[in-house]
Structure 1
Amino acid sequence: MLALTENVTEIVKQLTSEVPEISALRIAAEPDGQGLSVSPADQAAAEDQVIEQDGATVYVDQTASALLDDKVLDGTVDAEGNIQFALGEKA
């Protein structure tokens, strides 16, 4: 299962507290299978894996879940407020 860093849980908690219609982030495989997208979500899709960690929720679609099983999601916010995500291998 995808693990979340403390940075990501804080980013998700801040987003969901500032925008009430967002309950989580959702990670989905792109239709071409060549990438992943991260977007705010109000609910999980029927076959999403739901990851709840330290008060943050991330939905992962079925295809992305298989790709991310051994990964860790990290994130940062730059000076302009842009969020950047990065994947790493679990230790």
Structure 2
Amino acid sequence: MLTVTDNARTAVDTLAEQAGVPAEGGLRIAQSAEQPGNFELALVPAPQPEDQRVDESGQTNVFVDSESAPALDTLQLDADPSTEGPGFVLTPQQA
């Protein structure tokens, strides 16, 4: 299952708060319809019915669409803070 780093949790929470996303909403990761093999990240007001919640801490809402979940099983979501705002990256999970 995709894991979420502390940096990514903080970035998701900050972005969701700034955007006024409701408490049940969060960051959704899904396959790109326009670029197969790539993923799109978006703030959403609520997950889709088939989405999986992946942040095991229960503190941050990160959702993955069911079709993307197998491809993300061995990855972790991290955030790189910058002056323009955080950039999210998917990297192999730490052993």
Give the TM-score normalised by the residue count of structure 1.
0.86
1:28 corresponds to? 30
1:23-72 deviations in whole A, cap 9, x for unaligned? Answer: 20000001252210001011111110012336111010012111001111
> What is the 5 A alignment of 1:2-81?
2-22=2-22, 23-31=25-33, 32-52=35-55, 53=57, 55-81=59-85
More strand by share: 1
Give the TM-score normalised by the residue count of structure 2.
0.83
5+ residue gaps in structure 1? none
RMSD: 1.6
Q: What percentage of aligned pairs have identical amino acids? A: 28
The letter for the 1-side match of 2:71 is: L
SS at match of 1:7: helix
Point out 4+ residue stretches in structure 1 off by more than 6 angstroms.
none
Number of equivalent positions: 90
